Structure 1
Amino acid sequence: MTDILVLGAGYTGVAAAIRTAVRTRRTGGRVRLVNASARFTERLRLHQTAAGQRLADFPLQDVVAGTGIEFVQGRVAGLDVERRQARLEDGRVLGYDKLIYALGAVTDASVPGVAEHAFVYDDYAGTVRLAEHLAGLASGTVVVAGGGLTGVESAAEIAEAHPRLHVVLLTRGRPGSMMGERARAHLDAALERLGVEVRTGADITKVLPEGVELAGGELVHSDATLWTTGTRGLPPAAESGLSVDARGRIVVDSALRSVSHPDVYAVGDAAAVSRPYGVLHGTCQSGIPTGLHAADSLAAALRGRTPKAFRFGYVHQPVSLGREDAVIQFTRPDDSPRRWYLKGRAAVAYKEAVSGSPLPTFGLLKRGLVPVWAFALTGGLG
């Protein structure tokens, strides 16, 4: 019996756990999946939760039912990679032979005041608190910090759901800067239509209880500040002695094994996965393929085979702009924009198709199948 521990049950962790259970069933794999919450969080849709929309509830026990996976509810407090143990906050210690680290990332709160005064998307409960706070405001200003895709989606969603509130998007660069010119033009027009005030060149130096301070001393009033400017790996990785990069992500080899501790595999936002065009940035688009590949690499190692090298290419940059609009920028494998894009209703339908309920994907994995989109993104999995 090989004890396989999967830490984290987001999109990537659940995909890795199910794929591992299927691929190691005949070689005596025992898979345990650890997560702080008993609920599967649709992280791709947290901006909808923030705007007050109720999403479907997926208990993790139901998500992994029929796979033989043992679900363990508990928050990871630390790792001992020499003893091969994970310690939970309640004192329980879980041993393992192989570990898949899928704890994801948390908001980079290095700017003063973020931890104390800003709302973040680190978990479902925190997002619900933001939704409740916004619902309680009769009027006022909401500051969304960060002009990446998460910031843009959040600003649009909140502005559409709460037209009485003034939404200000503060960003150093242009919103959607990674997109092509025509897709960016549609994005800009949508934000203007929704009444979102976009301020570029904004360098936030401090978050205050009732606003944010910019470089130069200007104060921007805010009745709620949402921080979406960047993420970093959780402390257990660096504190354990695993090799991590400057953002606290576990550095992995081509099989997605830790370069310092090969019994540990890292996936999703928690991993620094190098490709010829750079290190993968955290998205579900790249995350689930890493989870599937780590499972295959682990299964190959248990059979005494050499794991295949991970391959991945980006396909698109999907951005919702409220419930009635969206824009999809299609990309080259290195994530640079192609000429093609979708907008409006067609983009809404596309976005809902690629970021809808994960249960069909998990259902395919339970049957030992890999979704077609995973083949497209990775060029084929071993």
Structure 2
Amino acid sequence: MTTHSSGDRPHVLVLGAGYAGLMAALRLAPHARVSLVDPSDRFTERVRLHELAAGVRPDVSHPLSHFLRPAGIEHIAARATGIDPATRTVTTDDGRRLPYDRLVYALGSRTAPAGERAHTAETAAGLSKRLQDGPGSVAVVGGGLTGIELAAELAESRPEWRVSLHSEGRVGSGFTPRARDHALGVLRARGVRIEQGRRIAEPDSVDADEVVWAASMVPNTELAAAAGLPLDPSGRVRVDGALRSTAFPEVYVAGDAAAASSARAGALRMACATAMPMGSHAAASIISEFRGREPRTFDYGFLTQCVSLGRREGLVQFVRADDSPRDRFLTGRPAARVKEQVVRSTVGLLRIAARRPWVIPLTPGMS
């Protein structure tokens, strides 16, 4: 890339300070003037929200300044309210119009709305306070990884509460039968009542004092749709192999908002495991463009599905590149340690990116 002075360096706006957005911003910092737009001044470890809900940890966030300051990234503490790809500007809720040369859309996803009565992972702090007023009954709706972790953590850390787990399909459907049986056995040993094969349309149909909704995720792509970025049937933004919008190549999309795929994995599911590599690849693609090169196609393959089953138990399901389960899996304390190390490594990698971004492309799974 040609050396630019601080006045004529290309300007990249990054929307969203989650796993994908923060990784993209940190990787881009040595190559462009980077502004990160997010109303919060903290980075939240979303994969630890079940621990916050259960009261295991009082806080699962970190000051954004710890990552941004070493990298020289500007934090714009505002919410993006509009994108105009024609003029390459973003408007914010405080009245600013922010120009960009490239835009990284990384606004992630949220739990699908289920009414005012239900708690979600996003309201974990409020749920934790409510559970301090126990005892009572709490129902977790959703048999995926988030629901399993929530049910196990609540049952172990809040024994005064009667915990149930409800799933329209099989709980842990992505596991092999033996691994799934192990997870169910741990849940039942914690006292969790498991109900499968019944669709719950709304929280009021569950007989429990409190309901935690973990049934489905929806991408935060309303802003993208309003700007004219094409979406796929799931509501995620259509992108090419470099993670550029198929309609506006100056706009890159990373994380849960992107309808991304790879030759090895096929369509990628929403997950922290995919968000950070996508954020890194979006940055690598932009850097290639600034250097006058065509970006490489995103390549990704899954390795494991890791789930915590409380503080002393876990399950690590080894998977093929396309996320289908292999016969091998790890359980017990070793699996719990692996899961904890995986979670810690995400923040560790972001800290490395803040100070030594050139290391990130050398990290397995990162572009």
Relative to the length of structure 2, the TM-score reads 0.93
Equivalents in 2 of 1:142, 1:38: separation in Å?
Answer: 32
1:1-382 aligned within 5 A: 1-22=9-30, 24=31, 29-52=32-55, 53-55=57-59, 57-109=61-113, 114-122=114-122, 126-136=123-133, 138-208=134-204, 213=205, 220-234=206-220, 235-276=222-263, 277-356=265-344, 358-365=346-353, 366-371=355-360, 374-375=363-364, 377=365, 381=367
- 1:207, distance to aligned residue in structure 2 (A): 2.5
Structure 1's 85 and 9: CA in aligned 2 closer, same or farther, altered over 3 A? Answer: same
* Amino acid paired to 2:288: A
Contact 2:43 2:61 in 1 (8 A): yes
Distance (whole Å) between structure 2 residues aligned to residue 345 and residue 55 of structure 1: 24
Q: 2:39 and 2:54 mapped to 1: Cα distance?
A: 24
Q: Kindly provide the amino acid, as one letter, of the partner of residue 238 in structure 2.
A: V
Is the alpha carbon distance of 1:104 and 1:374 closer, same or farther for their aligned partners in structure 2, counting shifts above 3 Å? farther
Q: CA separation of 1:61/1:163 partners in 2, compared to 1, >3 Å: closer, same or farther?
A: same
Matched residues in 2 for 1:275 and 1:297: separation? 15
**Aligned partner letter, 1:368:** P
- What are the Cα deviations for residues 83-135 of structure 1, in whole angstroms up to 9, with x where unaligned? 222222232222211000111012222xxxx132211223xxx2211111111
Question: In structure 2, how many angstroms separate the alpha carbons of the residues matched to 1:326 and 1:152?
Answer: 11
- Give a deviation string over 1:213-243, Cα, whole Å, max 9, x none: 2xxxxxx312211111111222111121111
For 1:224 and 1:81, locate their aligned partners in 2 and report how far apart those are by CA, in whole Å: 44
Q: For the residues of structure 2 that align with 1:51 and 1:186, how far apart are their CA atoms? A: 22
Amino acid at match of 1:135: Q
The offset of 1:305, in angstroms, is 0.4
User: How many residue pairs get matched?
Assistant: 355
User: Take 2:286 and 2:111, find their aligned partners in 1: how far apart are those partners?
Assistant: 29
Q: Give the conservation status (yes or no) of the 8 Å contact 1:4–1:32.
A: yes
SS at match of 2:82: strand
Query: Cα–Cα, structure 1 residues 148 and 370, in superposed 2: closer, same or farther, change >3 Å?
Result: farther
What amino acid does structure 1 have at the position aligned with 2:33?
R
Whichever residue aligns with residue 102 of structure 1, its letter is A
CA deviation profile, 1:135-177 (whole Å, cap 9, x unmatched):
12x2221111110000000011111111111111110111111
How many Å separate the matches in 2 of 1:80 and 1:13?
Answer: 19
Note closer, same or farther for the CA distance 1:96–1:372 as it changes in structure 2 (3 Å cut).
closer
Residue number in structure 1 paired with 2:5: none
Instruction: List gaps (5 residues or longer) in structure 1.
Output: 214-219
Q: CA deviation at 1:205?
A: 2.0
Q: 1:372 to 1:352 in 2, by over 3 A?
A: farther
Counterparts of 1:183 and 1:4, CA distance in 2: 44
The answer to whether the 8 A contact 2:43-2:63 is kept is: yes
Q: Contact (CA 8 Å) 1:156, 1:194: kept in 2 or not?
A: yes
Normalising by the residue count of structure 1, what TM-score does the alignment of the two structures yield? 0.89
Q: Is the 8 A contact 1:237 1:248 kept in 2?
A: no
SS for the counterpart of 1:346 is: helix
CA distance in 2, matches of 1:80, 1:92: 13
Runs of 5+ unmatched residues, structure 2: 1-8
Report the 3-state secondary structure (helix = DSSP H, G, I; strand = E; otherwise coil) of the residue aligned with 2:121. Answer: coil
Q: Helix, strand or coil: the match of 2:358? A: coil
